[in-house]
Structure 1
Amino acid sequence: MRFAHAILATAAATATAIVIPSDHVIHEKRATPGTFNRRRLEPHVRLPMRIGLKSNKVARESAEKWLMDVSHPKSTQYGKHWTQEEVVSAFAPAEDTVNAVTDWLGDSGGIEKARITPTKNKAWVAFDVTVEEAERLLMTEYFESDDGERRTVGCDQYHLPSHLLEHVDYVTPGVKGLHFKPSKEKVLSKRDSNQANRRKIFEPSPPSQSNSSSLDTCDQMITHECIRALYNIPFPDPGAKVSPNNTMGIYLLSSAYAQEDLDMFFSNFTPYIANGTAPILNSINGGVAPVDVFHAGPEACMDLQLAIPLIHPQNTTVYQVDDDFWTAEQATKGGMFNTFLDAIDGSYCTYEAYGEQGDNPDFDPVYPNEREGGYKGERMCGVYKPTNVISISYMKDESELPAAYQKRQCDEWLKLGLQGVSVFVASGDSGVGDLPKPDSPNGCLRNGTVFTPGHPNTCPWLTSVGATKVYPGKTVFDPESAANNLADETYYFPYSSGGGFSNVFGVPKYQSEAVRDYFETADPGYPHYYDGNWQNSTGLYNRNGRGFPDVAANGDNIVAAFDGSIHMTGGTSAAAPIFASVVNMINEERIKIGKGPVGFINPVLYASPEVLNDIKNGSNPGCGTNGFDASKGWDPLTGLGTPDYPRMLDLFMSLP
C-alpha cells in the first residue's frame, strides 16, 4: 500500500493547459466527471501504469472453430485438447500490437524498454511513471477523489495516437480509475452470507421412511437409490482403482461444508461411504472449509452429498472462493467467478477482451483486502489446476453485469473447453424470471414483463442444467416432468426451473437446429425481440439468443443433511452436480482405456440427443406468464433432457 500512502500525502497541483496534436484522439472519456473531494495529483507522485493490449483478433474469430474441432463428434480432431500453454499462445496479443505500444512509449513518452514489464501472456505492459510523465504521455490530468466509501485515482479522459486505437484496449489508472484503501464496513457473518446467496430453503424434516434404499417413496424424497434408478447409474465398487487425476470440482462461494453434516448423511443414506470422507480443498483468496455445523452452508452440504456418493470412490475437489467479507458482499452485489478463474488460469488475471481486462474492481473482490477480517494475501493467479469436470450452483442475472464483462468471462469458459474441461452450471430457480428486486417484485425486466436470463449459464461454452421432478403418485420408472412448484403456496420451496434465451449471446451453431425445431413445433406465441434489444421493444424474450438450459436432472425433494439434522431441499443447484457426476464417471471409464476427458459436451449431445431422456411435460412460469412449455426435443426449461448413463457411456466410449 505504499502507493496509496504516497498519494494521500500529496497536495493539489496547479492545472496547466494541454495542447492536443492533430494525430491524437480521445480514447476513453468519463461520462460524468467525479466531484467528491477531488484534487489534482502532484507531478512527482508515482503511478503504477498498466496498458491493456487488444487480444489477438484472429484468435477471437477462430475460437469457436477451434473448440468445435476438439468437441464435435464428427471432427477428426475430437478429443485432441490443447495444453494451457497452447491456449495462452493462441490468444496472446499479436506481435505488431506489442511492438506498436512499446515503440510509442519509447518515442513519445521516454519510457525505455528497460522500464517496461510485459506479462508472460503479453496481455498488458506494466511500468511505473510519475504523474508528470503520465499526463504528458496521455495528454490528460490526474486527480484523486473520495466518495466516502473509497478513494480513486484517475482522469476524466485521455488521448492516444490514432494509429494505436486498434492495439490498445484501455489504460489504468485512467477513466476506469484505480481504487485503493477501501473503507471498513460491517462484515456479514458466513451464516448471513449463506442465506443471502441461497436460492432455496430447507424443509424442517423429510417424510418418514424406514428404508432409505426403497424406491417406493421417490415421489416424496429423492435419495441416491432414486437417482440411480432414474438414470440407470450403476452402484459403485468401493474398492475400484480410480485415477487420482479425475476428481470432480465443485465451486463454492459463501457456503462451506461441515464434516459432521457429511458424516450424518453417509451414515443414514450411503453407508458404503466411510465417515470422515471429505473433498480435497483448494482454498482461493481466503476461502475456508470445513467449518463447524453452525457456520456450514446448505449449498455446500447438498452439492457434496450428491456428488461424493455418486462418483465414489472417485474424489471431489472443492474450490472454496474468497474471504468472508467478499463472499457476503458478492451475495447481493458484484460479479462472480473471476477470482476462481484467476486461480485456475494465471493468464486470465490480465486477459483483455471487449474492453475488460483483469478483474473489475467495480464488481470483483480486490486483494489484498484491507478491510477488517479480509484476506491479506495477494490475489491468487494460476495456483490450481482445473479438474476435468466442474459443477457450479450459483448465478446472477445477465442484466446485473455489463455485457463486456460477461463476454470476456465467456471466453475463459471456452478456453477451459479447449483444454478438456466440462463445466456445468445450474440454470436458476425462478422460471423465466428471477428473485424479487427493489425495482421489480417478480425479478423481471421492463416493469416486470420481460424474461430475465441468467449469468453465466447463457455463455454458449458451458453446459446449463435445468431441473426435473418425480411428481406425486409417479415412480422413477415414469417419465419425469419439469420442476415447477409455484402453484402450491404451501410448498417448502416454491420454484420453477430456469430457462429461456440470452440477451447477450447469440445462438451457437451446435444449437441452431434444435432452437429452430423448438420454434417450429412448440412456439410459445409470446411477442419477442431480436439482438437483445428489450429496452426498445414490446417483446418478452430474445428470439435469436442462445437458448438454455442444455440438459436437466432431478432437482426436487432432495434429501440432505444440514445444520446437524436431515432436511429436504431442491433446485437446479441440485441438478448441476448430478449431471456433472455422470460425466465425471464417464471420464473415469475413458481414462481406464487410455482416452482423455470428454471436455465440452454440448456438440456431442446436440448431435445425439437420443442418449438423453426427453422431458415432455411441465412449464417454468415467471414474469406474469406460464413461461415455456416442455416439448419433444430441446426446450428452454429442460434442454435436451436428463441423462441415461449407459447410453451416454456407450456414445462417449465410441469417440476417440
Structure 2
Amino acid sequence: MIISYSAFAAFTLLLCNAAALPDSHAVHEKREATSERWIKRDRVNGLTTLPVRIGLAQSNLDRGYDYLLDVSHPDSPNYGKHWTAEEVAKKFAPSEESIGAVRDWLTSSGIDRKRISHTTNMGWLTFHATVQEMENLLHTEYYHHEDSETGQVIPACDLYHIPNHITEHVDFVTPGVGLNVRNHPQGGPPSPWKRGINDHHEPAKFQEFPHEKIHNNSDLATCDIAITPACIRALYDVPLPTTAVKGNTIGIFENGNFYAQEDLDLFFSNFTPYIKNGTHPILDSIDGGVAPVPVAQGGGESALDLELAYPLIHPQQVTLFQVDDINYSNGSLNASGIYNDWLDAIDGSYCTYSAFGETGNDPSVDPVYPDPLPGGWNHPLQCGVYKPTNVMSVSYSAQEYNHPVNYQKRMCNEFMKLGLQGHSIFFSSGDTGVAGRATDPAPNGCLGPNHTIFNSRYPNSCPYLTVVGATKVYPGHTVFEPESAANDLAGAPYKTAYSPGGGFSNIFPIPPWQETAVASYFKHHNPPYPYYSGNEPLGYGGGLYNRSGRGYPDVAANGDNIAVYSAGKAHLSGGTSASTPMFASIVNRINEERLLRGKSPVGFINPVLYAHPEVLNDIKNGSNPGCNTNGFTAVDGWDPLTGLGTPNFPKMLELFLRLP
C-alpha cells in the first residue's frame, strides 16, 4: 500500500503535536512494533520529572578494523604494540565536536547548562527535565506503558525527533522508544528462553566409556578410539610444557555448568600423572558464580574444557570465569544473554558503554542484579573486578537471529577493544553444521518459511574472534595421518548427530584479513547452493546463505572421542567445545615463549594466520550437513567448516617468535 506524503505528514503531526515540527528536524528513533505484553495507557503528566540521558555517538567505531590490523597484521610496523585500556577508551570516546554540538542544542532549547552533566565514561550527557520540556525538545508525546506480566510502568514515546545537524552526534535518547523488560518472574514456570535451550551448555557428544579399553594412556595406537593428552600432543607436535611465566594464565568461560575437583583428580591420576591431584583453577566468580561442586553434580562442559587445557599448559595456570548465580545458571530466572556479565566484570567501562542504541546490559536479554531470590547474587552487577587473561576460551554459543542486531554489534565492538589490548579470544563454531539447534527456530534448526536457510551463530560471526571448528581421527586411522572434519550421524554411537558449525554471517561483512581466503574459496570451490548478499533480505531469491557475510570458523582442532572424567565416571566426549580450549591452550603456550623473550602476547591472531596459512594443517575431507543439505565441504585452503586448518605447533611457534 502506498501512503501519500500528505497523509504521512498528518499522521506524524497527530503523533507529535506537542509542538509544530520544524523542517530542520527528523525522526531519530521510531518503535517499529510493540509486544502484546505492553499496554499503552494515559499521557504522562507534563510536570513529571524524568531522568534524561543522551547517548553520544562514539568516535572511530568505523575504524576498528584498521586499528586492530595495525597491531595484529604481521607486516605492520606496529605489530604487537597493543593499546592500554585508557588509550582504547579515549580513542572511541565521543568527540569534542559531538559533545559541544549536543550541549549547544540543549541549551538553545531551554535546558540550562548548569543542569547538564557529562558522565565520567564520556558517553552521556545527563540532566533532569519535565515531561513537557522533553516533549517540546523532541517533538513527541510521552505515554505510560504497562507491562501486563510484571506490572512495571514506564514512560515512553512512539517516536521522537532531533535536529538534522545533531543526528550524527546522538546515538539515542532515554526515556525514548525503548520498552525494556525486567526478567524476574512473578511466579510460574521459566519462559522458553531459559538457559540450556538456546545456549550451548553441554558437549555435543557424551557417552560413558569403560576406561579399561585404553590399556596404555601413552599408546598412540588407540587414538582412533579415544583422544588422550598423548594423542593431542602427537597430532599437533606439542611438547610437554616446562615453564610458567607469572600471570600467563588461560581463561576458561563457564556458565550454567560446574566442575568437580574429584573429576579433575581422576583425570590427572589416569592420564596426566605429572599433574598433582588437587590442582585447580583460579576462580574468578562473576555475579555469584559458584565452583567447584560435589562430584555428582560435575558438568560435562566444565570437565571437558579444564581437562583439555591442563595437559597442554601445566604448570601454567587456568583462570575460571564462572559466570552468574545459580538462579540464572539453572534457568529459574530468564535470560538468554550470557556474555555481557563476563565482559562487564573484565572491563568496567563496558557496563555503561553506549553504541548502536545499546548501553550497558539489556534487561530484556541479560540477567538483572541484585537477584533477591534464595541463593541469588543479591549485590550490584560486578564491573571491572577482574583482569582479562591473555587468552580466553569460550565453548558456548547461540544463533544470530536470537538477539537484536545492535546488541550483537555493541558486543562485537568490545571484542575488538580487547583485541587492541592484546587479548586472544576463541569461540566454538557450534555442533549442528549449517543449522541451529533443533526447534531453534524450527525442528531442523533452520530459518525462513520453508526452514531451508542456514542459521548463523552468535557471537561467532563477530570478525574480532577466532572461531574454532572440529576434526576427528576416524576409525582405522592414526594421528600421523591427515584428520577429517568431525561428522557423526545420530546413533553412531551417540544419541545426536554432530558436525562442526560453519557458514557466513547475516550481520557482519567479510573482514579485510579474510577477503582473499573467502574469494579463493568461492572461485575454486563454489558451494552448489543459491545465495543472497549485501543488504538483500534473508533468503532473497531462494538463497540459503549470505555470500557477503563474515565466514567462520577460522581454524579447527580435534573435537571427537575425547577421553574425560565427569560426575565420577569415564566418558567419551566431543564437539567444538573440545577443539576450542585445545587450540586456545596451544596459543597460550606460544604466548609463554614470547613472554620469556620479552615480547608481547600475540593478541588477535587472525590476520597473522590468514597471511600465513602454511603454519596450519589444511583439512580436505568432510562436511557439515544441515537444513536438508550436505552443508559445506572441507577443501584446499580456507573453508566454512574447518577454517584454515588445525595447529602445527612448531610452525606456529617459529612464526610468532619471528614477529616483533
TM over 0.5: same fold?
A: yes
Q: SS of the counterpart of 2:220?
A: coil
Q: Is the 8 A contact 2:185 2:333 kept in 1?
A: no
User: Equivalent residues in 2 for 1:171-250 (5 A)?
Assistant: 171-177=173-179, 179=181, 182-185=184-187, 197-206=201-210, 208-237=213-242, 240=243, 242-250=244-252
Structure-2 residue corresponding to 1:11: none
User: Equivalent residues in 2 for 1:377-396 (5 A)?
Assistant: 377-396=379-398
Structure-1 residue corresponding to 2:301: 299
Deviates more, 1:199-208 or 1:474-483: 199-208
Distance 1:454 1:136 in 2: 43
Distance 1:272 1:117 in 2: 58
Gap regions ≥5 residues in structure 1: 1-14
Structure-2 residue corresponding to 1:589: 593
User: Equivalent residues in 2 for 1:512-591 (5 A)?
Assistant: 512-531=515-534, 533-591=537-595
Distance 2:545 2:277 in 1: 48
Deviates more, 1:177-186 or 1:412-421: 177-186
Residue identity in the other structure for 1:444: C
1:252-283 per-position Cα deviation (integer Å, ceiling 9, x unaligned): 11112111211121112111111111111112
Are residue 358 (structure 1) and residue 363 (structure 2) matched?
no
Residue identity in the other structure for 1:429: D
**Change beyond 3 A, Cα 1:75–1:16:** closer
Distance 1:130 1:372 in 2: 39
Q: SS of the counterpart of 2:565?
A: strand
Distance 2:254 2:507 in 1: 25
Q: SS of the counterpart of 1:26?
A: strand
Shift of 1:408: 1.7
Distance 1:371 1:38 in 2: 30
1:382-428 per-position Cα deviation (integer Å, ceiling 9, x unaligned): 22211110101011111112222222211111111111110111001
Gap regions ≥5 residues in structure 2: 1-14
Shift of 1:579: 0.2
**Change beyond 3 A, Cα 1:458–1:320:** same
Are residue 119 (structure 1) and residue 122 (structure 2) matched?
no
Shift of 1:120: 2.6
Q: SS of the counterpart of 1:625?
A: coil
Structure-1 residue corresponding to 2:651: 647
Distance 1:124 1:553 in 2: 44
Structure-1 residue corresponding to 2:609: 605
Deviates more, 1:584-593 or 1:406-415: 406-415
Residue identity in the other structure for 1:214: D
Q: SS of the counterpart of 1:86?
A: helix
Distance 2:160 2:370 in 1: 28
User: Equivalent residues in 2 for 1:77-476 (5 A)?
Assistant: 77-113=78-114, 115-139=115-139, 140-149=141-150, 151-153=152-154, 154-177=156-179, 179=181, 182-185=184-187, 197-206=201-210, 208-237=213-242, 240=243, 242-329=244-331, 334-371=336-373, 373-437=375-439, 439-446=441-448, 447-476=450-479
Q: Is the 8 A contact 1:444 1:450 kept in 2?
A: yes
Distance 1:302 1:26 in 2: 51
**Change beyond 3 A, Cα 1:519–1:200:** same
1:10-42 per-position Cα deviation (integer Å, ceiling 9, x unaligned): xxxxx9962234144432222346752734444
Structure-2 residue corresponding to 1:6: none
Q: SS of the counterpart of 2:99?
A: helix
Shift of 1:43: 4.9
Residue identity in the other structure for 2:253: Y
Are residue 504 (structure 1) and residue 470 (structure 2) matched?
no
Q: SS of the counterpart of 1:266?
A: helix
Structure-2 residue corresponding to 1:7: none
Distance 1:119 1:107 in 2: 21
Residue identity in the other structure for 2:467: S
Q: SS of the counterpart of 2:522?
A: helix
Structure-2 residue corresponding to 1:618: 622
1:160-199 per-position Cα deviation (integer Å, ceiling 9, x unaligned): 23332221111122211355584334687xxx95687335
Distance 1:370 1:135 in 2: 36
RMSD value over aligned CA atoms? 2.5
Residue identity in the other structure for 2:28: H
TM-score, normalised relative to structure 2 = 0.91
Residue identity in the other structure for 2:340: N
Distance 1:546 1:493 in 2: 28
Q: Is the 8 A contact 1:187 1:328 kept in 2?
A: no
Q: SS of the counterpart of 2:506?
A: strand
Distance 2:188 2:69 in 1: 47
Distance 1:289 1:187 in 2: 26
Deviates more, 1:437-446 or 1:461-470: 437-446
Q: SS of the counterpart of 1:244?
A: coil
Distance 1:185 1:638 in 2: 45
Shift of 1:116: 3.6
Distance 2:440 2:409 in 1: 27
Q: Is the 8 A contact 1:286 1:322 kept in 2?
A: yes
Structure-2 residue corresponding to 1:5: none
Shift of 1:347: 2.0
Residue identity in the other structure for 1:613: N
Q: Is the 8 A contact 1:182 1:371 kept in 2?
A: no
Distance 2:84 2:654 in 1: 27
Distance 1:375 1:413 in 2: 26
Residue identity in the other structure for 2:218: S
Q: Is the 8 A contact 2:203 2:300 kept in 1?
A: no
Residue identity in the other structure for 1:388: N
Q: Is the 8 A contact 2:205 2:494 kept in 1?
A: no
Structure-1 residue corresponding to 2:75: 74
Q: Is the 8 A contact 1:26 1:158 kept in 2?
A: yes
Residue identity in the other structure for 1:565: K
**Change beyond 3 A, Cα 1:645–1:493:** farther
**Change beyond 3 A, Cα 1:368–1:332:** closer
1:109-150 per-position Cα deviation (integer Å, ceiling 9, x unaligned): 43443x444233311223344445444443422414122135
Distance 1:607 1:331 in 2: 45
Distance 1:544 1:572 in 2: 25
Deviates more, 1:532-541 or 1:626-635: 532-541
**Change beyond 3 A, Cα 1:408–1:150:** farther
Q: Is the 8 A contact 1:356 1:408 kept in 2?
A: yes
Q: SS of the counterpart of 1:169?
A: strand
Q: Is the 8 A contact 1:247 1:314 kept in 2?
A: yes
Q: SS of the counterpart of 2:366?
A: coil
Distance 2:218 2:480 in 1: 15
Distance 2:398 2:332 in 1: 10
> Which among 484, 494, 497 is matched to residue 494 of structure 1?
497
Residue identity in the other structure for 1:273: I
Distance 1:472 1:652 in 2: 34
Q: Is the 8 A contact 1:285 1:375 kept in 2?
A: yes
> Which among 637, 640, 656 is matched to residue 636 of structure 1?
640
**Change beyond 3 A, Cα 1:311–1:330:** farther
Residue identity in the other structure for 1:209: I
Q: Is the 8 A contact 1:152 1:180 kept in 2?
A: no
**Change beyond 3 A, Cα 1:629–1:330:** farther
Count of residue pairs the alignment pairs up:
634
Structure-1 residue corresponding to 2:5: none
Shift of 1:521: 2.1
Q: Is the 8 A contact 2:40 2:144 kept in 1?
A: no
**Change beyond 3 A, Cα 1:601–1:32:** closer
TM-score, normalised relative to structure 1 = 0.91
Q: Is the 8 A contact 1:131 1:142 kept in 2?
A: no
Q: SS of the counterpart of 1:63?
A: helix
Q: SS of the counterpart of 2:105?
A: helix
